[in-house]
Amino acid sequence: MASVVEVVDVSKRFRLYHAKYDSLKERVIHFGRIPFDDFWALTDIDLEIAPGETLGLLGANGSGKSTLLKCIAGILQPTTGHIRTVGRLAALLELGAGFHPELTGRENVFLNASILGLSKREITRRFDEIVAFAELEAFIDNQVKYYSSGMYVRLGFAVAVNMEPDILLVDEVLAVGDESFQRKCLDRVRQFQRDGRTIVFVTHGADLVRQICDRAAVLDHGHMVELGLPGDAVRVYREHLLPGEAYAEEPGEGDVADAGPRRDARLRIASVALEHPGTGSRPYLLSGEPLSVRVRFEALERVDDVSFGIAIYDAAGKHLHGTNTRILDVPVAPVGPGPGEVCFAFDRIPFLDGTYLVTLGVTTADEGTVYDWREQQDSFEVMNPGRTFGLVELPVRVEVSGGG
């Protein structure tokens, strides 16, 4: 399938002037002698994104990921190379960019949508939906300058997501707004994925990448150092965030692109079973009850270097717990050939109400090679029999003194 976003050989140079000369006088005085440094924000980026794909852009601050997104959006032009996009493109770089404070919400919806490239007919058709999504029915005819910042952002997001783009570019906007709004944003992103739209988004949140991306790219000082599965990308990203340790994993290996984990199919996870005291009688466990995660695996031949890992996430994708046999210093004898089983037994699950997702991985001890990876396919439900609220059950004693 032809790609919808094609980034070919793109580099972007910024001129960093040591002083900014905006006036004619200053320009004339310093003509041709304005000191500057060249700064390459992007270097030789090649990237193809298939229709319906969700791509995450990971990178530390200043790595060039936002610059790349702005180039794809057309806000910045690459110094060399070109970018081709097919279909309507919407960029959520700043919600409500282009709102005019003097205009009413209604007028701004029309203005903003046409800035994003929608025709009046299309806007009219979607107007009610936009207002409903923003939950601003009562205020839509008020001037935007009287809006709270939350209302402002909601309206901006509503306009952007309701313009039904083929390609959606998102820059960290999911980080703004309250929790319910964030959830709403995330729901929208998921719906976009189901609709088969293409999404590119920039984030620091490695968990978010794992959660919703098909692929991810990692940028480091303007270079693309990784383009691959989310899990691999997150690993490379974490390495690059740790200065000095970046390439320490494979000393002597010059090629950065090869630094990603290798795949090894000799060992795979056959089945996973979650057991708790209520297994068979109720579909949930109670807060504080034990949980066993039984992983049956199948080794094609004898495998010497093995580490089993587990991670638990909440429904919003927050990483709650993660460990593996190497971290726990549990010796794992060479396995296979043939079937085997590893069991992670938690004495008590302290979570309160909610659904929790489990990720399981089998890797080498240094995590350089992945045998098998089962990303959030298993889940368990927890019910809180008491009245305590929050996320975890913490045993607590209360003492009251004084007062007399």
Partner 1 sequence: MRQRATESTRVITARPGLGQRLREIWRYRELVANLVRTELKVKYKNSALGFVWSMLNPALYLAVFYIVFQLVLGSGIPAFAIFLLSGLLVWNFFSTALSGATGSVVANSSLVKKVYFPREILALAAVGASLVHFFLQGIVLVVALLAFRYQVSPGYCLLIVPALLVLLLFTAALGILLASINVYVRDAQHLLELVLLAWFWMTPIVYQYRLVADKFTGRGWSTDLLLLNPITSIVLVFQRAIYNRVEAVNGETVIPILPADAGAGWYLRNLLIVGAISLVLGWFAMATFRRLEANFAEEL
Under DSSP, is residue 201 helix (H, G, I), strand (E, B) or coil? strand
Q: Least Å distance between CB 230 and partner 1?
A: 24
Contacting partner 1 (CB under 8 A), which of 3, 14, 62, 249?
14
- How far apart are CB 139 and partner 1 at their closest, in Å? 18
Stretch that binds partner 1, among 102-110, 211-219, 265-273, 364-372 (CB under 8 A): 102-110
Residue 379 in contact with partner 1, rule: CB under 8 A: no
**Could you tell me the smallest distance in angstroms from the CB atom of residue 218 to partner 1?**
23
User: Which residue lies nearer to partner 1 by CB, 75 or 343?
Assistant: 75
Q: Does 140 bind partner 1 (CB under 8 A)?
A: no
- Interface residue with partner 1, options 40, 110, 127, 247 (CB under 8 A): 110
Minimum distance of partner 1 from residue 361's CB (angstroms): 33
Compute the least distance from the CB of residue 223 to partner 1, in Å. Answer: 20
| Dihedral class, residue 234 (left if φ above 0, else alpha if ψ from -120 to 50, else beta) | alpha
* Amino acid letter for position 265: A
* Contact partners, residue 38, CB within 8 Å, separation at least 6: 13, 14, 15, 16
Q: Which is nearer to partner 1, 83 or 358 (CB)?
A: 83
> Which residue in the set 47, 55, 68, 93 belongs to the binding site for partner 1 (CB under 8 A)?
93
Beta carbon nearer to partner 1, 6 or 264? 6
Q: Which single residue is written with the structure tokens 């008590």?
A: 348
- How far are the Cα atoms of 34, 231, 310 from residue 320, in angstroms, in the given order? 52, 17, 11
Instruction: Choose between 164 and 249: whose C-beta lies nearer to partner 1.
Output: 164
Site string for partner 1, 65-84 (x = CB under 8 A): -----xxxxxxxxxxxxxxx
User: Token pair 């693309």 is at which residue?
Assistant: 224
101 exposed, middle or buried (CB, 10 Å; 0-12, 13-18, 19+)?
exposed
DSSP-derived letter for residue 328 is T
Among 46, 94, 129, 304, binds partner 1 (CB under 8 A): 94
Nearest to 295 by CA among 331, 325, 329, 269: 269
Distance of CA 37 to the CA centre of its chain: 33
Dihedral angle sign, alpha carbons of residues 325, 326, 331, 337: positive
Q: Give Cα 197 distance to the centre of its chain.
A: 16
CB of 148 to partner 1, least distance (A): 19
Asked if residue 132 binds partner 1 (CB under 8 A), the reply is no
Q: Of 108-116, 223-231, 242-250, 298-306, which part binds partner 1 (CB under 8 A)?
A: 108-116
From the list 394, 43, 56, 109, the residue with the least C-alpha distance to 236 is: 56
d(CA 117, CA 107): 15
What distance in Å separates the CA atoms of residue 154 and residue 224, rounded to the nearest whole number?
Answer: 33
Contact 240, 60 (CB under 8 A): yes
CA trace torsion 132, 133, 134, 135 (10° rounding): 50
CA distance 92 to 155: 12
Cβ 76 to partner 1 shortest distance, Å: 5
Residue 177 or 261 with smaller CB distance to partner 1? 177
Which residue, 169 or 312, is less far from partner 1 as judged by CB? 169
Nearest CB to partner 1, comparing residues 89 and 358: 89
Query: Residue 219 Cβ, how far from partner 1 at the closest point, in Å?
Result: 18
Judged by CB under 8 A, which stretch of 112-120, 133-141, 217-225, 355-363 contacts partner 1? 112-120
User: Among residue numbers 164 through 223, which ones bind partner 1 (CB under 8 A)?
Assistant: 164-166, 195-197
Q: Return the number of the residue (70 or 210) whose C-beta is nearest partner 1.
A: 70
Contact between 304 and 371 (Cβ < 8 Å): no
DSSP, res 352: -
Whether omega for the bond prior to residue 51 falls within 30 degrees of 0, making it cis, is no
The residue count for binding partner 1 (CB under 8 A) is 51
The span of 162-170, 279-287, 371-379, 382-390 binding partner 1 (CB under 8 A) equals: 162-170
Is residue 155 a contact residue for partner 1 (CB under 8 A)?
A: no
Q: Give dist(CA 144, CA 107) in Å, integer.
A: 9
Q: Which residues bind partner 1 (CB under 8 A)?
A: 14-15, 22-25, 27, 51, 70-89, 91, 93-94, 97-98, 100, 102-103, 107, 110-111, 114-117, 119-120, 164-166, 195-197
